[in-house]
Amino acid sequence: MTGALAVQKAVIARLAGDPVLAGLVCGVHDQPPPGARLPYVALGRSGVVDWSTKTERGARHRLDLIVHADHRGQARTKIAADRILALMTEAPLEIDGQDCIAVRPLLHETVTDPAERLVQTILRVEVTTLDPSSLTP
């Protein structure tokens, strides 16, 4: 078990529980429901690589957090993205069954899709975890 779902749940809980971010976006979603109001945050691409040692089991989880907004400019997504980065890095995540060792930002990129009339700011973060049950006393 990689703990990927536990990390995902912790990230969504952290973001969805913040009143400042709630004032900037209409929701935080694993998968946005049909007709979701813009702007919103949705999970994008994710992956896990092993970060174990001889004595401990660990993992590095990479997640894309995407702020979706309408075409009226990039400022709205960038302001929300800055809040997300602050939330992700200000304190360790509370992850069920895992110890959060570090959260590191890897990418902050804004793209526009004129055909769909959307702006997206993509944040890629890396969450490093250890399985506390594997730690040697």
Calculate the alpha carbon distances from 21 to 24, 27, 59 in Å: 5, 9, 28
Query: Going from the N-terminus, what domains does the chain have, and what CATH number goes with each?
Result: 4-134 (3.30.2000.30)
Q: How far apart are CA 44 and CA 42, in angstroms?
A: 6
pTM: 0.91
pLDDT tens string, the chain, 137 residues long: the values are: 469 999 999 999 999 999 999 999 999 999 998 999 999 999 999 999 999 998 899 999 999 999 999 977 799 999 999 999 999 999 999 999 999 999 999 999 999 988 888 999 999 999 999 998 886 66
Structure tokens at 137: 């006393």
Convert the pLDDT of each residue in 51-69 to its tens digit: 999 889 999 999 999 999 9
Structure tokens at 88: 């992700």
Q: How far apart are CA 114 and CA 71, in angstroms?
A: 7
